[in-house]
Structure 1
């Protein structure tokens, strides 16, 4: 591969089933059309450059420095994905000059790159220049690290010749074979392990395949013929701890099993009902089906408040959108964080702009985007958004 390549992958949101999924119920995860983009080109002076302008990071290594690390990453010369060992991660931290307990965004992103780069190649290392730019905020529960890992895995596998390099003709048409997509997903999962330790695999699966998938008791099942739905995505900017929120739900379940069990079962039923609606028509949903989706959103948001993962910031968001006839629910851990608002195809666009202004006036970030987005894709430089072209040009 002698020319530049550009790869993108979507973020993700949980449509229904958050928290209930921890207790064996179903959850629906969907591709979010806020994407991470990576541009890769060969570096002629035998250096490796990783440039992450979103977080102000640019690191350059001499090719020979990285070559000396290779013996520790040749444990599987069959090139099948291998989980990172603690010894490998310690070696990479020492090489990159990161403290042993470092868990910030920069260090995790760099370590994931180094692990995938050294593990995928295993023998001959190419000089590369890699630039990453993302529309996804970090730490918001939107799958930003998985989109990054999927982009890295795809680009490195293409450069190494392990998967094909499709001609970019628009993201809807670019597909690798199922075997190639499985390989991308498996390697991206290893990148996620570097970043998160013990990820579920849902986020990287959504970033790889796009569309929507069902997750229950460790089993991931892609959904078929899912329509793309327009939404508002709102970040309340209220920080939250997923660990604390999950523990709170567990405590309630132990204290009030006869109350909480039916609520979690109802959330499971909402996921099932939503899946049936989404898969009912490959030609697009009717307005009546949109009405069902809106009712399910309202019911689930009330359930999530009942189990204790709501927040005044989310209540305010729901009040703003409901005052204009729109329907919203939190997505992810709750306790602040993000929410989605469904936009019907007959929605008044002027009203949507009013809602967005009111949400921004609350101090929130707001994007008009879509869910059910395509998975990992390859692009020509002309087919990426203008801000991505500028970011790549300025990097």
Structure 2
């Protein structure tokens, strides 16, 4: 078992195209978002394991000796098997969670304990650890924050227990794991997601593990080859929405108007495929015309999503603001509020970007300038992290 401090990060995700259509067997393109979750794991000798999640004001500590005495036979040793409802109930007892605990905190703690006990129980003794996770991703915004959390935990714990190696080579400040190691990380992270979400698609943890861009259709996930790192504005309207209700609404509309809605879903599928083609061309030989095509696809998809009934006045306002600045936006995720993305072409003037961000902030929205197509889960040296991230982890 390793004794050095481990630093790991993993990206969030956005859906570029294919929202809602993917539920009906069409193609969706999911891309890694360069807003990341960072984990610091520090081995200790104080007989405790602690979890600190400052983004949700959560700090929990357990006695390792007490955890060691627990009957954890309900966990399959060394096997990333799906947690059953009975296992989750037993984890609640282990965690000491009460009913007045916030849902976000409860699920995060359960996922941590599941991964910690499952991955580390084959060691002679459960390790004493301090773990801090800090994220640039807002929770509950459809940006894959829980998946990035699970991926960071899985990667750090598997490395700690020597199930996978430290991927940094020859003193490199940052390293990424080999394919077979990433597959193991992804497998365990999916189980963490199952604890949190019950029956997730696996897209979010796959994007967070592999990075770049993924094509998803009918449960099959494949990576796009070397996608470009496109610059975007990511805007959170902060309007809450129910993904379940929005998905049900589209299904109801499809049943009611099949000859209208089915062609909408087919068109969204065609947009995903065309975007995949354009992204490939951008890598091979980027031209201004390809960015114009991406903008057209964004506009068309936004109109189609509105026709499906998953738009919202806040998203209309977002599109109006960015259109006034010559930019093109669409919702990302379930819609009904939530987040939108705006493409930033390489030749865009800096002043125009700042003016757009200010206009969106004036609407009461949160706005980040970031990129998509970011690298997946990675291990870092302390020196390789940006100053703000280093300070955030060091001060916690």
Q: Is TM (by shorter chain) over 0.5?
A: yes
Q: Name the counterpart of 2:349.
A: 348
TM-score (normalizing by structure 2): 0.96
CA contact (8 A) 1:73 1:118 kept: no
For residues 20-59 of structure 1, what are the structure 2 equivalents within 5 Å? 20-59=21-60
Q: How many residue pairs were aligned? A: 391
CA contact (8 A) 1:7 1:37 kept: yes
Note the alpha carbon deviations across 1:72-113, whole angstroms, 9 max, x for none: 3453x3x23111122221111112222469771111111100
How far is 1:279 from its partner? 1.6
Q: Name the counterpart of 2:114.
A: 115
TM-score (normalizing by structure 1): 0.96
How far is 1:12 from its partner? 0.1
Q: Whole-Å Cα distance in 2 between the matches of residues 307 and 366 of structure 1?
A: 26
For residues 9-158 of structure 1, what are the structure 2 equivalents within 5 Å? 9-75=10-76, 77=77, 79-99=78-98, 104-124=103-123, 125-158=126-159
Q: Name the counterpart of 2:264.
A: 263
Q: Name the counterpart of 2:336.
A: 335
Note the residue ranges of structure 1 that are not aligned, 5 or more in a row: none
Note the residue ranges of structure 2 that are not aligned, 5 or more in a row: none
3-state SS of 1:203 partner: helix
Q: Whole-Å Cα distance in 1 between the matches of residues 147 and 75 of structure 2?
A: 24
Q: Whole-Å Cα distance in 2 between the matches of residues 114 and 271 of structure 1?
A: 38
Q: Whole-Å Cα distance in 1 between the matches of residues 187 and 23 of structure 2?
A: 23
Aligned residue among 169, 183, 189 for 2:172? 169
Change (3 A) 1:259 1:384: same
Note the alpha carbon deviations across 1:147-171, whole angstroms, 9 max, x for none: 0000000000000000010226355
Note the alpha carbon deviations across 1:238-258, whole angstroms, 9 max, x for none: 000001111111111011110
Q: Name the counterpart of 1:390.
A: 391
Q: Name the counterpart of 1:294.
A: 295
CA contact (8 A) 1:239 1:337 kept: yes
CA contact (8 A) 2:95 2:113 kept: no
Q: Whole-Å Cα distance in 2 between the matches of residues 247 and 312 of structure 1?
A: 20
Q: Name the counterpart of 2:359.
A: 358
How far is 1:284 from its partner? 5.7
How far is 1:192 from its partner? 0.2
Q: Whole-Å Cα distance in 2 between the matches of residues 29 and 284 of structure 1?
A: 22
CA contact (8 A) 1:74 1:122 kept: no
For residues 211-360 of structure 1, what are the structure 2 equivalents within 5 Å? 211-283=212-284, 285-360=286-361
CA contact (8 A) 1:93 1:100 kept: no
CA contact (8 A) 1:44 1:127 kept: yes
CA contact (8 A) 2:233 2:341 kept: yes
Q: Whole-Å Cα distance in 1 between the matches of residues 263 and 163 of structure 2?
A: 48
3-state SS of 2:281 partner: coil
3-state SS of 1:279 partner: helix
Q: Whole-Å Cα distance in 2 between the matches of residues 141 and 188 of structure 1?
A: 17
Higher mean C-alpha displacement, 220-229 vs 138-147: 220-229
CA contact (8 A) 1:70 1:122 kept: no
Change (3 A) 1:359 1:284: farther
Q: Whole-Å Cα distance in 2 between the matches of residues 281 and 182 of structure 1?
A: 28
3-state SS of 1:237 partner: coil
CA contact (8 A) 2:75 2:87 kept: no
Q: Name the counterpart of 2:4.
A: 3
Change (3 A) 1:238 1:74: closer
How far is 1:282 from its partner? 2.9
